[in-house]
Amino acid sequence: MQISVVIATFNEEESIAELQEWIVRVMNKHHFTYEVIFVDDGSKDNSWKLISEFGKQNPNIKGLKFRRNYGKSAALNRGFAAAQGDVVITMDADLQDSPEEIPELYRMIVEDGYDLVSGWKKKRYDPLSKTIPTKLYNAATRKVTGTTLHDMNCGLKSYRNEVIKAVEVYGEMHRYIPAMAKWAGFTKIGEKVVEHRKRPYGKSKFGLERFINGFLDLLSITFIAKFGKKPMHIFGTVGTLLFALGFGITAYLIFAKYFFSQFNMTDRPLFFLALLTMILGTILFVSGFLGELIARNSSIRNDYHIDKYSGIDDSQLA
């Protein structure tokens, strides 16, 4: 199978019929072998009823339904697990992403050799209250993750199948799949300017809180990627430095008390600063030690993604 299209949907009954017809029309026009996987994220409207009808009419249309709303990351993760196509394409269900972009996104993966291609909605039809925070968010993300994408949060993306099978999406980490793919070793990441269409039905399910959550998720994913398997490197280093600073201040106060002047050490603000830094340093060092114990006993502590084999079979790696 050439293409799997994964679509997370939540209360989008007005748009999904038009969307699936448009996708099928594009696929048939270009003679692709395909599947379309709708993941109903606990919709309260008739979305699942429509998806079920699509599947009866066209065996290439498939669906998964969550019992309740878990979020876009959970929906994509389950969709990725079910996807069988050589190239996996994601898009939003609100008709703001155009299926006409699918052939070129597929070609860039297959012919140009990209691992991942992200859409860039260069011209947006959103209010300033959304576009300005989005630009700031993307700038911060590029700086922290080292990716060069202009629109990290664009829902229209294409992936080599190996990429989505190697990356676990959870929480609200769907925004950072390109960064996670890069850290997993898939470094050939491309970008394509795509059409951003006005939303014809309903309203966005995301509010301004997504920018706060997105920033916190950015910190989390960066920390996990760099120190997830070696927590002592960050906690131990910072803890040791703080403890050394407090110890140095304490040594200075003792030296000053007995050789230069008589004073009560507890009357000096430096004494409390030294005490605070030594306590914090000890706490951080112990946190790093506990983190190492947890990491050492984790079932995925040696879970590394191997790209190719030469003269070695799976039994030798067991």
Answer whether 0.75 is exceeded by the pTM.
Answer: no
Q: How confident is the model at residue 258 (pLDDT cuts 50, 70, 90)?
A: confident
- C-alpha 29/C-alpha 132 separation (Å) is 38
Same domain flag for 55 and 178: yes
Across 70-74, 155-159, 168-172, the highest mean pLDDT is recorded for: 155-159
| Domain closes at, from 226, 241, 259 | 226
Same domain flag for 201 and 250: no
- The answer to whether residue 302 scores a pLDDT higher than 80 is no
- The answer to whether residue 313 scores a pLDDT higher than 70 is no
Q: Closest by alpha carbon to 192, among 126, 110, 106?
A: 106
Q: What sign for the dihedral angle of Cα 98, 204, 3, 304?
A: positive
Same domain flag for 220 and 103: yes
- C-alpha 290/C-alpha 231 separation (Å) is 9
Would 303 be classed as within a structural domain? Answer: no
- The answer to whether residue 155 scores a pLDDT higher than 50 is yes
The total number of structural domains in the chain stands at 2
Which tops the pLDDT comparison, 221 or 65? 65
Q: Which amino acid is at 178?
A: P
- C-alpha 191/C-alpha 186 separation (Å) is 14
Would 312 be classed as within a structural domain? Answer: no
3-state secondary structure the chain: CCEEEEEEECCCCCCHHHHHHHHHHHHHHCCCCEEEEEEECCCCCCHHHHHHHHHHHCCCEEEEECCCCCCHHHHHHHHHHHCCCCEEEECCCCCCECHHHHHHHHHHHHCCCCCEEEEECCCCCCCHHHHHHHHHHHHHHHHHHCCCCCCCCCCCEEEEHHHHHHCCCCCCHHHHHHHHHHHCCCCCEEEEECCECCCCCCCCCCCCHHHHHHHHHHHHHHHHHHHCCCCHHHHHHHHHHHHHHHHHHHHHHHHHHHHCCCCCHHHCHHHHHHHHHHHHHHHHHHHHHHHHHHHHCCCCCCCCCCCCCCCCCHHHHC
Same domain flag for 14 and 146: yes
Same domain flag for 214 and 122: yes
- C-alpha 260/C-alpha 254 separation (Å) is 10
Would 112 be classed as within a structural domain? Answer: yes
- C-alpha 248/C-alpha 277 separation (Å) is 10
How would you label 238-263 residue by residue, b for 16+ Cβ within 10 Å and e otherwise? bbeebbebbeebbeebeeeeeeeeee
Same domain flag for 137 and 248: no
Would 313 be classed as within a structural domain? Answer: no
Q: Which of 16-25, 110-119, 144-153, 279-288 has the lowest mean pLDDT?
A: 144-153
Contact partners, residue 33, CB within 8 Å, separation at least 6: 1, 2, 3
- C-alpha 158/C-alpha 3 separation (Å) is 10
Would 267 be classed as within a structural domain? Answer: yes
Q: How confident is the model at residue 225 (pLDDT cuts 50, 70, 90)?
A: low
Would 146 be classed as within a structural domain? Answer: yes
25-84 confidence digits (pLDDT tens) = 999 999 999 999 999 999 999 999 999 999 999 999 999 999 998 888 889 999 999 999
CB of 83 closer than 8 Å to CB of 37 = yes
Structure tokens, 12: 């989008």
Same domain flag for 55 and 137: yes
| Domain closes at, from 183, 210, 226 | 226
Same domain flag for 105 and 188: yes
Q: Closest by alpha carbon to 146, among 106, 91, 183?
A: 183
- The answer to whether residue 306 scores a pLDDT higher than 50 is no
Residue 206 pLDDT: 57
Domain that holds residue 278: 232-296
Same domain flag for 148 and 215: yes
194-218 confidence digits (pLDDT tens) = 988 877 676 765 555 666 766 777 7
- C-alpha 4/C-alpha 274 separation (Å) is 59
Residue 107 sits in a domain whose CATH number is 3.90.550.10
Would 187 be classed as within a structural domain? Answer: yes
| Domain closes at, from 202, 226, 250 | 226
Q: Closest by alpha carbon to 67, among 37, 38, 41, 93?
A: 41
Same domain flag for 210 and 279: no
Same domain flag for 156 and 281: no
Same domain flag for 72 and 104: yes
Residue 310 pLDDT: 46
Would 308 be classed as within a structural domain? Answer: no
